[in-house]
Amino acid sequence: MANEWWKTAVIYHIYPRSFQDSNGDGIGDLQGIISKLDYVKKLGVDAIWLSPVYKSPNVDYGYDVSDHRAISEDYGTMTDMEELIFEANQRGLKVILDIVYNHTSDQHRWFLDAKKSKTSRFRDFYHWRPGTPDGPPSDWMSTYNTSAWEFDEKTGEYYLHMNSRRQVDLNWENPNVIHEVKEMMIFWIRKGVSGFRIDQLGHINKKKSLPSYEQYADKEADPHFEIIKDEGAHPYVHHLNEAVFSKYSMMTVGESGSATPEEALLYTDPARREVNMVFSFDHLQIEEGDSESDVKVNVVQLKKVMEKWQKTLEEKGWNTLFWCNHDEPRIVTRFGDEGEHCAASAKMLAATLHMMKGTPYIYQGEEIGMTNADFEGIEEFRDSKSITEFHQRHYEQNEEKESVLADLNKRSRDQARTPMQWDDGKNAGFTEGEPWIKVNNNYLSVNVQQNLDDPESVFWFYHKLIHIRKTEPVVTEGTFDLMAPDHPSVFAYTRTGGGEVLLVISHFGKKPVSFAVDREQISGLSGHLLLSNYTVEDDASALEKPFELRPYETRIYLFKETEKER
Ligand code: GLC
Ligand code: CA
């Protein structure tokens, strides 16, 4: 039987640039990560996933790789990497690397050669096309809101880039590209890694006929995703599975921003042999809550979306569970409360997610309740995408600076990339030098030290959630059923299996609210409290009649057939 360790695992996502600096240059590095492995281990997770640490000109901080088999000098050396893998494994932590296979940096030797002439042996590693009378070969747009085609003077043709113009899309119809990617993966497998997070998993197959966006204009679909649709990627992913993933028992998780639950099932149904799970962003694209209300997100919609994912992948596929990563705003800022109820809301959000079916991912700092940082001016931003957006909206379209900045502060990628807050010392203990990106001002009250010292902290709450996952099989295997789907602020659900029912009740608002449990889902069983973020009686008697939930309150109960009422 396949080793499915990842089904009971929790994975910790490290953004190396902002985790821990070891040499005072203001940039997090591999030795910094090594020095914090004991901390990561303490949380109880099974593996770390590192955002890219390969050689890169850092236009997109490592997601623009110029040498897949070398470590960026910002982060250290290959020896440091080998030491990191060894030290992690020593502690029982697996290492998962980020594979960027949709594109390379424009500084990659393949592209530098490809640019030299139309006869370069690397020319076909990329997508080159002549222009049209209107200019670029098609109306395709990049994620930077510019044409996806860049003109190259020397050879008089355009190359394709679905991200920044310095991230050039690879041509997967060229078998040599596939060969190189496989060899690169095997290179890292030999170094001892246990899995891959695959960047832009489903974007590798571009529609050759270059259909115009207009073709999709009156459909609901996002044309950007239509032209790179996942359907064409499946054969490639399957091939990689046969040739690499299953051969070497690699855990695989692919980023697929556009995947529907049905699409995700195609990727993750074990019989199809593609990847183990995918990251989709459906649950992070929910409408905001009513502006009058104390609830920041449309909870009814959120429940509907998460239920759909839980249900669609319940039998055959497998889900990822995540609130945060290096591209998304911090969840406490988004769905919780940065003020008085910061810790309570961080715990509530964690409980809601971690008791679902799938593999949870914790993004560095989430486990201590880190929030979005507030930046005052564009000079504080480091993310090229945000800076480009500022230029486009402010300088080209004359939008007020303040309004663009307000938007960026809310959802730019930098707000979640600020340094890890270790303690209340200089630069939050991240660096002795000048940090590459500003430290969030709230580090005096939100930091690792303070969390470790307080048994009631967010950190120790995450620790308990992980412990529950490890000790109660119903968390891994149970079926998911929503309770009170129409309740506007309470997200409640059960997980059922093996004669047990796990019940999670979470309140997404500041104002206390009354809630009544649907007794049918737990009938004939007796239960007790497993975890809560407020003081609550240990038995489940409180649930017999309607009761009040306090600001961002969450409770997890376990019901059993055999258990006598305590
Ligand atoms: C993924 C990464 C993101 C990066 C993009 C292009 O979405 O998570 O950070 O910019 O791919 O590689
Ligand atoms: Ca450093």
Centroid of ligand 1 to alpha carbon of 167 (angstroms): 10
The contacts of residue 561 (CB under 8 Å, 6+ apart) are 499, 500, 524, 525
Helix extents (H) in 138-193: 175-190
CA distances from 559 to 429, 467, 506, 525, 526 (A): 43, 18, 17, 6, 5
From first to last of its 566 residues, the chain has per-residue pLDDT tens of 468 999 999 999 999 999 999 999 999 999 999 999 999 999 999 999 999 999 999 999 999 999 999 999 999 999 999 999 999 999 999 999 999 999 999 999 999 999 999 999 999 999 999 999 989 999 999 999 999 999 999 999 999 999 999 999 999 999 999 999 999 999 999 999 999 999 999 999 998 889 998 888 777 778 888 887 777 899 999 999 999 999 999 999 999 988 999 999 999 999 999 999 999 999 999 999 888 899 999 999 999 999 999 999 999 999 999 999 999 999 999 999 999 999 999 999 999 999 999 999 999 999 999 999 999 999 999 999 999 999 999 999 999 999 999 999 999 999 999 999 999 999 999 999 999 999 999 999 999 999 999 999 999 999 999 999 999 999 999 999 999 999 999 999 999 999 999 999 999 999 999 999 999 888 889 999 999 999 999 999 989 999 999 999 999 999 998 644 44
Task: Say whether pTM exceeds 0.95.
Answer: yes
- Indicate left, alpha or beta for 200 from its phi (over 0: left) and psi (-120 to 50: alpha): left
What is the Cα–Cα distance from 172 to 369, expressed in whole angstroms?
41
Structure tokens at 65: 């790789």
Q: Give the residue numbers marked as catalytic.
A: 199, 255
Closest ligand to residue 162's CA? 1
Q: Which residues line ligand 1 (CB under 6 A)?
A: 60, 63, 100, 163, 199-200, 255, 326-327
Q: Are strands 195-199 and 94-100 parallel, antiparallel or unpaired?
A: parallel
Centroid of ligand 2 to alpha carbon of 422 (angstroms): 16
**Rounded to a whole number, what is the largest CA-CA distance in the chain?**
80
Structure tokens at 403: 């309004």
User: Contact, 534 vs 512, CB < 8 A?
Assistant: no
Tokens 């940082």 sit on residue? 373
Closest ligand to residue 20's CA? 2
Please state the φ and ψ torsions of residue 228, each to the nearest 5 degrees. -120, 20
Residue 481 pairs with which residues in a beta bridge? Answer: 494
327 CA closest ligand 1 atom index: 9
Helix extents (H) in 96-196: 109-114, 175-190
Which amino acid makes up residue 258?
S
Structure tokens at 543: 């649930």
Which amino acid makes up residue 480?
F
Give me the residues near ligand 2 (ion), CB cutoff below 5 Å. Answer: 21, 23, 25, 27, 29
CB atoms within 10 A of CB 208: 9
What is the Cα–Cα distance from 239 to 514, expressed in whole angstroms?
53
The contacts of residue 142 (CB under 8 Å, 6+ apart) are 148, 161, 162, 163, 164, 165
Q: Which of 105, 106, 163 to mutate to test the pocket of ligand 1 (most atoms within 8 A of CB)?
A: 163
103 CA closest ligand 1 atom index: 12
Instruction: Report how far apart the first and last C-alpha atoms of the chain are (Å, whole number).
Output: 40
Closest ligand to residue 49's CA? 1
DSSP assignment letter at 305: H
